[in-house]
Amino acid sequence: MNHLSEKAKERTQLFESLVLRQGAVLIPGRYGGDYNNDQLAIFESNGGVTLLLGLKLLDAKGGLQLDTASLGPHTQYSKPWLNALVASLNCLQETTPLAMKIDSAMDKGTLVACVVCLDVEMQEVKMLRVAV
């Protein structure tokens, strides 16, 4: 059960609006740690796959914290986290094709991992690439 605050609902709507405008496909579910508000989207382009995680808030110094207890005891975008994501997506027939795309991109080394962030102070959305 996930009861989202009004601010969390606003961030959800912003993330969904941003990724859908770019032609990405939302992946059902939530993929964060304690507050479990992080969403995922997948975007395919030029034979590559981009996985978008968000919407994260940047701290006052512009820092970003990936959850360290997501999809089990895994840090977001770590290899074990990506493996758990693929395994989870393979559990449902509707998300199995997404799991296959992510798994294939990991095998080929073409997976691009990005975090969509909100700089609250500057009121700007940023996308940061994460090495996987």
Rg of the chain, C-alpha, whole Å: 14
Q: Is the pTM of this model over 0.85?
A: yes
pLDDT computed for residue 1 by the predictor: 43
Q: Contact at 8 Å (CB) between 127 and 117?
A: yes
Regions of the chain where pLDDT drops below 50: 1
Note the pLDDT of residue 46: 84
**Amino acid 3: pLDDT:** 63
Give the per-residue pLDDT at 47: 82
Burial class (CB in 10 A: 0-12, 13-18, 19+), 29: middle
Task: Domain ranges for the chain, please list them.
Answer: 6-130
Three-class secondary structure of residue 23 per DSSP: coil
> Is the alpha carbon torsion for 109, 102, 14, 57 positive or negative?
negative
